[in-house]
Chain A
């Protein structure tokens, strides 16, 4: 009988981990870049997340859907305590291929330059939130998890996810309005100053 993906992950099947990486590394990376605004750190977060997933594999529930919420929950812990987790996997990190100071490919470099300002602005806005609210907001809004999935990822009740998300949105709206008031005295209806059109935001929910 063929074992389920979850059963194979729990059993420490290396092939299942390779498949898991292929399926979700991109989503973990996007979450990490957006949370840190740092591409090199985000690569380390991806590696640490999957090393932690390997270490914690027996904690995977036998039944359930996509493992992305579980991985993003681990990524959240890694982002919370990057240096602590790095300590745990110090030797493995030392064997990581070196970061590229400048990307090899022109497309990638252009993409980073275009993203840099937006990422930095978002990081500043996020810093105004409580850490618990920030985690729920980035998981639900940026990485597209549902309330129940975010609750699973963070190990908190669904009601907590809902209330944190609501508080995060309120806080961010207040902040955005205050900013708008400062930058454009007297003007109304001007939204998302400085943001590029949403059309570039493809594959938001590739999971």
Chain B
């Protein structure tokens, strides 16, 4: 049953980490408070499994305490507060094969055509060589469902400036609500915690790329949904090299289930966007990648409750919205391009 003696192991357990007694007590007290508050609440709703930005949600804590009018460059940020819906069409579910899905719909054909266009645009872009000690800067507008403070600052579109270490070896920085938070380096860079260096190491051929993405453990998620989630992370978490971005769009075009939404104006950025969407089979949550329909470039993504027999929220509820306004490579955290 058990492993051979430790002395024969090629890599014995490193270090002797011990959780200090006072931290043990603090973490247990925290757990007990959370359990108590959840016990008092109705049945725990399922949460969508996507999150970007810092693990230590200092900004969230600050946001909860902060009541202010948000603005970007002096202009108030408009847009839909979470909970108010942009129009969406039902879309296709992922990984629930049905006769309708075996024949590609018009909407899927449109989606594949758009992915091909954005891939073409991405593939001719260039980026100077990136050094491991540099940082990926991104300027974003983000809003996320905040179940403890519905309608609170986090749930409204707000600006987040982020600097992530290119190779993940150095702490990063995020600025939101005027608060600076240090971002710990990702524990093990990979498909779900991509660094620039990790992304740059991947093949750009769509088939090879998709094979690697499918080879990742998907836990209890269906394979195609997990693959699309991974691609979402790779597109938005840091910055994919242009050739890889093109490969990712073409890989996504090979996954069944993505459909194109009618063009509309994104209320937060005021841009004309086309959403490419897929719907989770189990709870009907729709994830949409938003593309600027004029420039054929990626803008952001959102997750909205679609029709379902087992919805997490009422139909049209927005779980998360992200728009990436600018990305660039800089030399140090806090530096603007």
Could you tell me which A residues sit within 8 Å of B by CB distance?
12, 14, 17-18, 21-22, 25-26, 29-30, 33-44, 46-47, 50-51, 54-55, 77, 79-100, 103-105, 108, 111-112, 114-116, 118-119, 121-123, 125-127, 131-132, 134-135, 137, 140-144, 146-148, 165, 169, 172-173, 175-176, 192, 195, 198, 200-202, 204
Contact = CB atoms under 8 A, between A and B. Distances in A.
Given A90-B57, A141-B9, 9 more contacts: A14-B35, A34-B14, A34-B17, A44-B56, A87-B48, A97-B27, A103-B20, A122-B15, A141-B12
Contacts of B56: 40, 44, 93, 96, 99
Interface of B: 1-3, 6-7, 9-20, 22-24, 26-28, 30-36, 38-39, 44, 47-53, 55-58, 60-61, 64, 144, 146-149, 184-188, 190, 192-193, 216-217, 219, 229, 237
Contacts of B229: 84
The 7 A-B pairs of least Cβ separation, nearest first, read: A87-B51, A115-B15, A36-B187, A172-B10, A122-B14, A33-B17, A91-B148
Contact of A111 (B18, B24, B30, B55): B18
Given A79-B187, A80-B217, A83-B55, A95 B16 contact: no
A73 B197 CA distance: 29
Given A30-B17, A88-B51, A115-B14, A93 B44 contact: no
A34 B51 contact: no
A92 B33 CA distance: 9
A35 B188 contact: yes
A29 B60 CA distance: 24
Contacts of A100: 23
B49 A91 contact: no
Main secondary structure of the interface of A (DSSP, over half): helix
Contact of B60 (A94, A98, A123): A94
Contact of B44 (A35, A55, A95, A204): A55
Q: For chain B, what secondary structure do more than half of its interface residues adopt (helix, strand, loop), or is it mixed? A: loop
B188 A36 contact: yes
A63 B186 CA distance: 37
Given A21-B31, A51-B31, A82-B193, A93 B19 contact: no
Nearest to B51: A87
Nearest to A158: B1
A144 B217 CA distance: 22
B16 A202 contact: yes
B14 A119 contact: yes
B57 A81 contact: no
Nearest to B15: A115
Given A14-B36, A37-B187, A38-B184, A90 B60 contact: yes
Contacts of A126: 11, 188
A141 B13 CA distance: 7
